[in-house]
Amino acid sequence: MRALRLLAIVLALAIALLAARAVTLPSRQIAVPPAPRLALDEAAIVERFAASIRFPTISTSTDPATVPVADFQAFQRWLAESYPRLHGSLTLERVSEHSLLYTWPGTNPALEPVILLAHQDVVPAADEARWTHPPFAGAVADGFVWGRGTIDDKSAVVAACEAVELLLARGFAPARTVMLAFGHDEEVGGAHGAQQIVALLASRGVRAAFVIDEGLAIVTGGAVPLLDRPAALVGIAEKGSVTLEVIAKAAGGHSSTPPRTTAAGILARAIQRIEASPFPGGIGPVTGGFFEFLAPELPFVARVPLGNLWLFGKPLDWALSRSPAGNALLRTTTAVTMLSGSPKENVLPSQAVATVNFRILPGDTTESVLGYVRDLVAGDEVEVRFKGPGRDPSPVSPTDTPAFALLHRTIEEVFPDAVVAPGLVLGGTDSRHFSEITPNVYRFAPFRYDGDDLKRPHGIDERMSIEGYLDGVRFYVRLLENASGAFEAP
Which residue is catalytic, options 121, 162, 238, 392?
121
Residue from 153, 186, 430, 471 carrying the catalytic annotation? 186
Judge contact between 425 and 238, C-beta under 8 A: yes
Q: Identify the sign of the CA torsion 447, 397, 486, 484.
A: negative
Could you confirm whether 121 is annotated as catalytic?
yes
Determine whether 412 is an active site residue.
no
The one-letter code for the residue type at 254 is H
| Active site residue ranges | 121, 186
